[in-house]
Structure 1
Amino acid sequence: MTDVLVPPRPATRPAPPAKRRSDDSYDDVVEMFLVLSTLPAESHEYRRQRERIVKRCLPLADHVARHFGRRGEGLEDLTQVARLGLMNAINRFDPDKGPSFIGFAIPTMMGEVRRYFRDFSWSMRVPRRLRELHVQISRATADLSQRLGRAPTASELSKELGVPHEEIVECLVAGDAYQLDSLDAPVGSDGSGNTRSVADAVGGIDPQIDHITNREAVRSLISGLPQREREVLHMRFFESMTQSQIAERIGVSQMQVSRILASTLQSLRDRLD
Structure 2
Amino acid sequence: MAGESRSPGDSYDDIEPLFEKVAALAPADPRREWLREQLIERCLPLAEHIARRFSGRGEVFDDLLQVARLGMVQAVDRFDVERGSSFLAFAVPTIMGEVRRHFRDNTWAVRVPRRVKEIQLALGPAVERMSQRLGRMPRARELAAELDVDLVEVTQALIAGNAYHSQSIDAVTGDDPDNAPLPLLESLGADEPSYHLVEDNMAVKPLIEELPERERRVLIMRFFENKTQSQIAEVLGVSQMHVSRILSKTLSGLREQALRD
TM-score by length of 1: 0.63
Alignment check: 8 A CA contact 1:62 1:79 kept = yes
User: Hey, what does 1:144 align to over in structure 2?
Assistant: 130
Alignment check: 8 A CA contact 2:172 2:181 kept = no
User: Hey, what does 1:132 align to over in structure 2?
Assistant: 118
TM-aligned CA deviation for residue 168 of structure 1: 1.7
Between structures 1 and 2, the one with greater helix share: 2
User: Hey, what does 2:34 align to over in structure 1?
Assistant: 48
- Hey, what's the Cα distance between the residues in 2 that align with 1:80 and 1:169? 32
User: Hey, what does 1:114 align to over in structure 2?
Assistant: 100
Matched AA of 1:56? R
Whether 1:185 and 2:172 are equivalent positions in the alignment is: yes
User: Hey, what does 1:30 align to over in structure 2?
Assistant: 16
Matched AA of 2:105? D
User: Hey, what does 1:171 align to over in structure 2?
Assistant: 157
Question: Could you list the per-position Cα deviations for residues 137-161 of structure 1 after superposition, in whole angstroms to 9, with x for gaps in the alignment?
Answer: 1111111111122322222212222
User: Hey, what does 1:100 align to over in structure 2?
Assistant: 86
Matched AA of 1:135? L
Q: What's the secondary structure of 2:83's corresponding residue?
A: coil
Matched AA of 2:140? A
How many residue pairs get aligned? The number is 197
Q: 1:88/1:199 Cα in 2 relative to 1: closer, same or farther (>3 Å)?
A: same
- Hey, what's the Cα distance between the residues in 1 that align with 2:119 and 2:140? 13
Q: What's the secondary structure of 1:150's corresponding residue?
A: coil
Indicate the larger mover: 114-123 or 42-51: 42-51
User: Hey, what does 2:54 align to over in structure 1?
Assistant: 68
- Hey, what's the Cα distance between the residues in 1 that align with 2:149 and 2:73? 35
Matched AA of 1:102? L
TM-aligned CA deviation for residue 201 of structure 1: 4.3
- Hey, what's the Cα distance between the residues in 2 that align with 1:37 and 1:163? 43
- Hey, what's the Cα distance between the residues in 2 that align with 1:109 and 1:188? 35
User: Hey, what does 2:228 align to over in structure 1?
Assistant: none
Alignment check: 8 A CA contact 2:8 2:46 kept = no
Q: 1:188/1:50 Cα in 2 relative to 1: closer, same or farther (>3 Å)?
A: closer
- Hey, what's the Cα distance between the residues in 2 that align with 1:180 and 1:37? 47
Is there any run of 5+ residues in structure 2 with no aligned partner, and where? 194-202, 208-255
TM-aligned CA deviation for residue 205 of structure 1: 5.8
- Hey, what's the Cα distance between the residues in 1 that align with 2:139 and 2:8? 40
Alignment check: 8 A CA contact 1:188 1:197 kept = no
Moved >4 Å (runs of 4+)? 192-196
TM-aligned CA deviation for residue 54 of structure 1: 0.7
Indicate the larger mover: 155-164 or 117-126: 155-164
Is there any run of 5+ residues in structure 1 with no aligned partner, and where? 1-15, 208-236, 242-260, 266-273
Q: 1:169/1:31 Cα in 2 relative to 1: closer, same or farther (>3 Å)?
A: same
Matched AA of 2:109? S
User: Hey, what does 1:88 align to over in structure 2?
Assistant: 74
Alignment check: 8 A CA contact 1:144 1:152 kept = yes
Q: 1:93/1:28 Cα in 2 relative to 1: closer, same or farther (>3 Å)?
A: same
Q: 1:165/1:51 Cα in 2 relative to 1: closer, same or farther (>3 Å)?
A: same
Q: What's the secondary structure of 1:28's corresponding residue?
A: coil
**Identity of aligned pairs, percent?**
42
Greater C-alpha Rg: 1
